[in-house]
Structure 1
Amino acid sequence: MTFTKHTTETAPEESKELLKKVLDKFGFIPNQDKILAISPSIYKAYNQSFDLFLGKSSLGLLEGQVVIMTTSYENNSPYCMAVHSWGMKMTKVPKDVIESLRNGKPIADSRLETLRDFTRKLIINKGHIDEKTLSNFFEIGFTQENCIEIIGGIAAKTISNYVNIVAKTEVDEIMEQYKWSK
């Protein structure tokens, strides 16, 4: 089954404004947004939660991107891995960090690796974190607030991961060079 890809003209009325904002921000509408627009309430919830996580959490942009890429890797979402590889490159994240995340390998920076490992374990253990992992997370300087924010980031990213997996969303042309498979 092919999922409908909406435009600013064909989308449900409640999704049109969000699509226009995305178009203004990027100069194009990514395939993911065209598909998410099918459900205005979920599209709005996704955008709000994702924007709040990346833009307002105490983690900051780089650490937020580590959470997003780790979530997309663990959920095996080729579309989201390509999109966020492209985004990380555009925001000048070091190449070794991007490559580690794309390959599910440890990151050389110990703080970022602790974050990646914590996020990964939250996902694969469905929230059941052992005391050692939690202690390591706090000992390196992360906070309880960070912990809650990571859970929110995982939740937001999982919406788009699952949508793109189910819809078999094609990578946008601008992101072709970042195609990915686990």
Structure 2
Amino acid sequence: MPRISIPTIEQSLAASKPLLAAVQQQLGVVPNLMKLVGQSPVALEGYLSLNGALAKGKLNVQLRESIALTVAEYNGCDYCLSAHDYLARNVAKLGNDEIDSARSGHASDTRADAALHFAQRVAETRGHVDDADLATLRVAGFDDASIIEIVVTVALNVLTNYINNVAQTDIDFPKVHARIAA
């Protein structure tokens, strides 16, 4: 049972309803995370705005979903693992091996592998990466804008990991559990 209530769409605050309607239109459903974050319309607006902006950025959906899986595994967020496993399969079209590798912070593609390793390091060090971490990323072909987007993608996923871990949000996707509890 969640520790923070998850309202129905009808029970949601008036300021959140148009945002939740947009989620419904885009996804066909309103995940529990969105209804939960909708308890604060400004938080929901901020989350959706940042997520939408990243979708227009330099990182493709496959890499963004892989980063989400890496970070969710590191933070032991079953809700986010479940959601991003679903999105990785159905939106990013990643296969089982790619998803499994991403959860461990790896990818078969050397460029993606460098990004996932860096994302893992950002999470582990709370952003205090060393020069070698950045150098490896640059050698793999990432420019400064891409590096910023990787860090922002990590931060956005840490945000949702923490919200879901605090709230113990009911999982409304096929369930996936972290290999090691955070």
TM-score (norm. length: structure 1): 0.90
In the alignment, the residues of structure 1 paired with residue 130 and residue 95 of structure 2 have an alpha-carbon distance, to the nearest angstrom, of 30
Is the partner of 2:6 in helix, strand or coil? coil
Q: What is the match of residue 24 of structure 1?
A: 25
Bigger share in helix: 1
Is the partner of 1:14 in helix, strand or coil? coil
Identical positions, percent: 26
In the alignment, the residues of structure 1 paired with residue 10 and residue 105 of structure 2 have an alpha-carbon distance, to the nearest angstrom, of 42
The alpha-carbon deviation at position 25 of structure 1 amounts to 2.1
The alpha-carbon deviation at position 94 of structure 1 amounts to 2.8
In the alignment, the residues of structure 1 paired with residue 138 and residue 116 of structure 2 have an alpha-carbon distance, to the nearest angstrom, of 14
- Per-residue CA deviations over 1:126-148 (Å, capped at 9, x if unaligned) read 11112222111101101111111
Aligned AA for 2:53? L
Q: What is the match of residue 148 of structure 1?
A: 148
1:180 aligned residue (174, 177, 182): 177
Which blocks of at least 5 consecutive residues in structure 1 are unaligned? Answer: none
The alpha-carbon deviation at position 66 of structure 1 amounts to 1.9
In the alignment, the residues of structure 1 paired with residue 21 and residue 61 of structure 2 have an alpha-carbon distance, to the nearest angstrom, of 24
**How many residues align structurally?**
177
The alpha-carbon deviation at position 152 of structure 1 amounts to 1.3
CA contact (8 A) 1:68 1:157 kept: yes
Q: What is the match of residue 122 of structure 1?
A: 122
Which blocks of at least 5 consecutive residues in structure 2 are unaligned? Answer: none
1:36 aligns with 2:37: yes
CA contact (8 A) 2:67 2:153 kept: yes
Is the partner of 1:4 in helix, strand or coil? coil
The alpha-carbon deviation at position 85 of structure 1 amounts to 0.4
CA contact (8 A) 1:118 1:137 kept: yes
- Per-residue CA deviations over 1:29-84 (Å, capped at 9, x if unaligned) read 1111111111111111111112211x111112112222222221222111001100
- Per-residue CA deviations over 1:103-153 (Å, capped at 9, x if unaligned) read x15322211111110011011111111222211110110111111111211
Q: What is the match of residue 73 of structure 2?
A: 73
In the alignment, the residues of structure 2 paired with residue 7 and residue 19 of structure 1 have an alpha-carbon distance, to the nearest angstrom, of 10
Aligned AA for 1:118? F
* Runs of 4+ with deviation above 3 angstroms: none
